[in-house]
A and B are shown apart, each in its own frame.
Chain A
Amino acid sequence: MKKIKGANLYSGILAVSLAILMFAEAPKIKNTQKLLVSSSLFPRITGVLALCIAIPLIVMGIMEIVQNRKHTEDETLLEQKVFSLVFIRSLIKPFLCLALIVLFIFSLGYIGTIAAGTIYLFLSFLLLTPKSNRNWPALFILSVTLPVTIYLLFTKAFGMALPFGRWMTRLFY
């Protein structure tokens, strides 16, 4: 994974956000014992630690940005825009992969393991396989056989209950 510019500064901001979350949530935790040994003790310690880590990270991040500014003055605005476009384009496929996983999880309860798995696998194969290598029938057969095999293996051999799907149950029973 390529390091993004200002990683230290962003890490510091992440640490500050975490510290704020810890300090905001800690008082909401119900204390069944004295504060020194209560369930909110550890979140408070974590908040302090996060803050201690955040300060040097932010300082380091700002120092890096100041140093880099001298180097990047030579870069033209066009070069920066081209870089941004390439960067955004490189994110499309990963974003679609995540969207397919969301679709899979969301549809699992409605259409069941086999149908959700088939759709997820087929679309993922299509997305990740270069156009020149796409063998549609083979990809489809694989997308169907794998979920069926896994479903039968888990439910019949291992005795585990996997979602059959609310819509599928209505359709078949």
Chain B
Amino acid sequence: MATMQYLQQGLLLIINWQCILAICCGTVIGIVFGSIPGLSTSLALAVALPISFSLSSIQAMSLLMGVYVGGTSGGLIASILLNIPGTPSAVATTFDGYPMAQRGEAGRAIAIGVFYSFIGTLLGFIALIFFSPLLASFGLKFGYYEFFGIGVLALIIIASLIKGGILKGLLATVLGIAIAMVGLAPIDSVPRFTFGIASLRGGISLLPITVGFYAIGALLDIARPQTDNQYEKFKYNGIKGLVGFSFKEFIAEIWNCLRSAILGIVIGIMPGMGGNIASLVAYSTAKSASKHPEQFGTGIMSGIVSAETANNAVCGGALVPLFTLGIPGDGAAALFLGALMVFGLAPGPSLYANQGDIVYGIYATLLLSSFAMFLIIRICLPAFCKILEAPSNILLPALIFVAMIGVYGNTKLYSDLWIVLVIGILGIVMRCFQIPIAPFMVSFIMTPTIEANLRRGLMAAPNYSFIDFFDSVLFVIIAIITAIFLLYSLFKDPFMAVIRKKRTH
């Protein structure tokens, strides 16, 4: 009852024209930053932060929440229209969103994406309001062993479900791990694989990797004579109704949506794991749970539903440890923490007791921001789809330029631009050798978490023994699931098929 009372007070606090305007402005800024490859939600928050200082605390939080939600959702636009993720958390959206755009269903794909982004945020909001203490305690049960197990499971799932066999998936995974290891090692900060280049000591961030793989890859694709101006072939065919799908389709996706939202919320709670990991894990889980996993990647609704629900559910999940314990769930939440401190709101249990109305007011801004995001993207949908009419020979060089400037602006390092180029070339080599990119992205994102937790786990264990990992029941369950996936995928691999064929001959 007290929760509902606080929520009511919170809603009253933000239902005024100043807060609603701040939410709308923030959402627009977030969508713009999210939809441009090379610009991230964190960058949008960093830009909006100085503006928020001139506002009252609740107005500032309204603005920042709008940016956060808008930025998280805006990434789907470029993912679907251009096959270039607007933000790292929209990588999984490209898998099915872009094939739909190729079929002339760009509008429908965006409408599905934005609707399920809204649903994801809504479910994250519900979790935040009603299950904060419970979720925080569950999230904290995950120790080194479990984090390590979950990370390996995610790698195996995504590598095993790739078309072309698990061997190529695992090779992509290993390549991702190798690139992620460049820079200072976790825990003891020892430099590795820097080859004497000082700028590599800071490691390779996700932004140049995303731009390199997707933007450079797309540019080189249109430069090849046989695929000249492929984007011009796509057409925007309009969409049915408000959301582009029937009630029957909605019912069919309920379990996928709920599962992805739960994954998003739980991953959001875990420190250091953000929307990018959530969407990829939710996508691979949806694929493995589907009766027709072979349809994933061909442009089906389920792929977009899982990715978009999960990455937006993270918004609510990431705020749970932030408000209850003062631990940010991801980079964007860390900026939120900074903003809260500036306005004299120290996160922790005392915040609920002393300024409960403001806390619930901030929660309510999450709800309003998701409404604003849904309405703005849905209204501007035909305008976004006009991008498809722009000739690719103009659009892609322009996008590369903006993305490169965004990458430079993020770190002010020229070396990041060279990394974009090198990764672009690596992407081309991988495509030539039919090595999938998705497992590379997942392993690149997950490696720091996996390595740090493996080493911490070994340090915590007597005699540095890996056997001690099996003392944890949760780890044992995760390990069994991982082993089943690995064995099943190896058995199904083309390599094993060739061996079996040889034997029968």
Please list the residues of chain A having a beta carbon within 8 angstroms of any beta carbon in chain B.
1-4, 7, 10-11, 14-15, 18, 21-22, 25, 29-34, 36-43, 46, 49-50, 53, 56-57, 59-60, 63, 89-90, 93-94, 96-98, 101-102, 104-105, 108-109, 113, 117, 120-121, 124-125, 127-130, 142, 146-147, 150, 154, 158-163
Contact = CB atoms under 8 A, between A and B. Distances in A.
A158 B67 CA distance: 14
Contacts of A162: 405, 408-409
Contact of A25 (B50, B192, B408, B433): B192
Nearest first, the 8 closest Cβ-Cβ pairs linking A and B are A39-B185, A124-B397, A128-B393, A1-B431, A93-B223, A39-B190, A36-B464, A94-B220
Given A34-B464, A39-B185, A125-B394, A101 B405 contact: no
A19 to B, nearest CB: 9
B459 interface: yes
B397 A120 contact: yes
B232 to A, nearest CB: 11
B167 interface: yes
Contact of A11 (B401, B404, B433): B433
Given A42-B181, A160-B409, 18 more contacts: A7-B434, A21-B178, A25-B192, A32-B190, A42-B177, A42-B185, A42-B455, A57-B171, A89-B225, A93-B224, A97-B220, A98-B421, A105-B414, A120-B401, A130-B228, A146-B401, A154-B409, A162-B405
B352 interface: no
A109 B414 contact: yes
A105 B421 contact: yes
B464 A161 contact: no
Interface string B404-421: 110011001010011001
Contacts of B454: 41-42
Nearest to A109: B414
A114 B459 CA distance: 52
Given A43-B192, A63-B498, A105-B421, A154 B455 contact: no
Interface in B180-211: 181, 185, 187-188, 190-193
28 contacts: A4-B433, A11-B434, A14-B433, A15-B171, A29-B192, A32-B190, A38-B188, A39-B188, A41-B458, A42-B181, A42-B185, A49-B174, A50-B174, A53-B167, A56-B167, A60-B494, A90-B224, A98-B424, A104-B401, A121-B401, A124-B400, A128-B223, A128-B392, A147-B401, A158-B409, A159-B47, A159-B50, A162-B408
Contacts of B243: none
Contact of A46 (B177, B220, B394): B177
A162 to B, nearest CB: 7
Interface in B129-187: 167-168, 170-171, 174-175, 177-178, 181, 185, 187
Contact of B412 (A32, A125, A161): A161
B491 interface: no
B216 interface: yes
Interface string B346-365: 00000000000000000000
B157 to A, nearest CB: 16
B50 to A, nearest CB: 7
A105 B455 contact: no
B192 A102 contact: no
Interface of B: 47, 50, 167-168, 170-171, 174-175, 177-178, 181, 185, 187-188, 190-193, 216, 219-226, 228, 391-394, 396-398, 400-402, 404-405, 408-409, 412, 414, 417-418, 421, 424-425, 428-429, 431-435, 447, 451, 454-455, 458-459, 464, 494-495, 498
A74 B455 CA distance: 56
Contacts of A2: 432
A33 B432 contact: no
A89 B498 CA distance: 35
B432 A1 contact: yes
Looking at B177, B414, B429, B454, the one whose CB has the most chain A CB atoms below 10 A away is B177
B495 A94 contact: no
A49 B408 contact: no
Nearest to B494: A60
Nearest to A9: B433
Specify the main secondary structure of chain A where it touches its partner: helix
Contacts of A108: 408, 414, 417
A22 B434 CA distance: 23
A15 B401 contact: no
B224 A37 contact: no
A7 to B, nearest CB: 5
B451 A90 contact: no
Given A15-B171, A56-B167, A128-B222, A101 B393 contact: no
A97 B401 contact: no
Contact of B425 (A15, A98, A104, A150): A98
A49 B486 CA distance: 14
A77 B404 CA distance: 44
B455 A41 contact: yes
A59 B408 CA distance: 43
Contacts of B431: 1
A102 B455 contact: no
Contacts of B174: 15, 18, 46, 49-50, 53
A24 B85 CA distance: 35
A32 B188 CA distance: 7
Contacts of B175: 14, 18
B458 A37 contact: yes
Contacts of B177: 42, 46, 49
